Amino acid sequence: MPATVLVLVETINDCLWILENQGFHLILAPTPSERADAIKAHAGQINAVLTRGPLGLTAEEIAALPHLEIICVIGAGYEQVDLQAASNRGIAVSNGAGVNASSVADHAMALLLSLVRDIPRADAAVRRGEWPKVMRPSLAGKRLGILGLGAVGLAIAKRCANGFDMSVSYHNRQIRSDVPYSFCPTPTELARHSDFLVVATPGGIGTRQLIDKAVLQALGPEGFLVNIARASVVNTADLLQALEQRSIAGAGLDVFDDEPRVPDALKTLNNVVLTPHVAGLSPEATQATVELVGKNLVAHFSGQPLLTPIALPAPN
């Protein structure tokens, strides 16, 4: 009997044929109401759940699925998956770290270029029949700071160092000996040495509000912030204040605290560029993501090690 996968992710439908071709039976539940109904109606047959970090899977949901064996999370972050509950049940968890790194890095660069060169306002002006000549900074030769030098951070660093001749610094949980970039011991120190600060670290308790008032002050009135990671890494109230008071030059944001709701105060500012959490979305990234999920599912149900396992806490 084929394994049944509950799919909570709303952005990968075009590539779900990959899993179906591997023999998996899929139950699609991309909305909260469909999710609750699917768990209630199909609890006895669900063997795997496909989710993403912000959607997660709660302890209560895990408890309601007696035959659940594996949780596959697309993307690097898994902050809303109850790892303790999974561990207690012996349920495996995998993620997709690095699979969409190129797409996210491209989007980070798009946000940075749009923000620093003020492309949205220039475009709007031309459409109104105006022809403003506004002086904006260049990216070439500037100082880039990256918070989180994983696969996405590395992809951004390479684009900036090789394509724009930027000097690159980073803050990470640990120093990397395999990169030519400068390590900064704290986020504040990183901001102090950056013209552009890009947030590329996973979400979760360990990274919550690493970017606060002190970091933004260190970034300064000519500094720009880009966040393509998780909104939880940035203190939104501090960021709003910094943007309103022009104590930083601007921000490019793809992630928000209560998606899809975006604070009205952000929408009214002319020194921000906003996108609807789409950095990791591209046909290439989506296919690679689903292919990795399929490989992890096949490995698990054939008794083989997962390709990208998440380390779980000890059962209690």
Cβ atoms < 10 Å from Cβ of 33: 8
Partner residues linked to 5 by β-bridges: 26, 48
300 is catalytic: no
Out of 107, 159, 171, 230, which one is annotated catalytic?
230
Cβ atoms < 10 Å from Cβ of 303: 6
Are 119 and 132 contacting, i.e. CB atoms less than 8 angstroms apart? no
What are 126's two structure tokens?
A: 């031309």
Give the CA radius of gyration of the chain: 21
259 is catalytic: yes
230 is catalytic: yes
**Amino acid in the structure at residue 294:** G
**What are the DSSP E strand ranges found in 122-177?**
143-147, 167-171
Out of 34, 89, 277, 291, which one is annotated catalytic?
277
DSSP 55-75: T-B-HHHHHT-TT--EEEEES
Are 216 and 188 contacting, i.e. CB atoms less than 8 angstroms apart? no
The dihedral built from the CA positions of residue 2, 291, 233 and 110, taken in this order, carries a sign that is: negative
Out of 259, 261, 284, 300, which one is annotated catalytic?
259
- Which positions are catalytic? 230, 259, 277
